[in-house]
Amino acid sequence: MDDEALVERSRHGDRDAFAALVTRYQDELYTMALRLLGTPADAADVVQETFLRAYVKLPELRGASVRAWLYRVAVNCGHDVQRRAVRRPTEPLEDREGNIVELPDPALGPEATALARERAAAVRAALMTLPEVFRIAVVLRDVNDLTYEEMAQSLRIPLGTVRSRLNRGRALLASALRASPAMNTHAHGEG
Partner 1 sequence: MPPKHVEDLFSGAYDDALTPREAERFAAHLRECDACASAYEAFHASVDALRALPAARMPVMVHLPSTPPVAEQRAFPVRLPRAWRPQLRAGFATGIAAAAAVVLVVLAVSHQGGGGTSPGSSTALEAPSSTGGATTTPGCPAPAAASASQQLTSGFDNREVKTEPDRPGQQLVLATASDHYAPGSQVAVYSLLTAPLPAAAAANGTVAPTTSVAAVPCVRVEAASALPSQGGTAPVPAGGRAVFATPAPAAAGSGAGSSIGAGAVPGSPLTPILYFSIPPNTPSGTVLHVVATVPAGYPQPGDPAFSVDLVITVR
User: Is residue 3 at the binding interface for partner 1, with CB under 8 A as the rule?
Assistant: no
CB of 18 to partner 1, least distance (A): 5
b/e for 99-108, b at 16 or more Cβ within 10 A? Answer: eeeeeeeeee
Cα distance between residue 24 and residue 2, in whole Å: 10
Residues 6+ apart with CB under 8 A from 78: 32, 33, 36, 37, 46, 136
CB of 96 to partner 1, least distance (A): 11
User: Is residue 86 at the binding interface for partner 1, with CB under 8 A as the rule?
Assistant: no
Cα distance between residue 136 and residue 134, in whole Å: 5
Q: How many chain residues touch partner 1 (CB under 8 A)?
A: 80
Task: Please identify, using beta-carbon distances, which residue of 111 and 179 lies nearer to partner 1.
Answer: 179
CB of 122 to partner 1, least distance (A): 8
User: Which residues ranging from 105 to 164 are in contact with partner 1 (CB under 8 A)?
Assistant: 105, 119-120, 123-124, 126-127, 131-134, 138, 141-143, 148, 156-158, 160-161, 163-164
Task: Please identify, using beta-carbon distances, which residue of 88 and 163 lies nearer to partner 1.
Answer: 163
x/- letters, 29..68, toward partner 1 (CB under 8 A): xxx--xx----x--xx--xx--xxxxxxxxxx--------
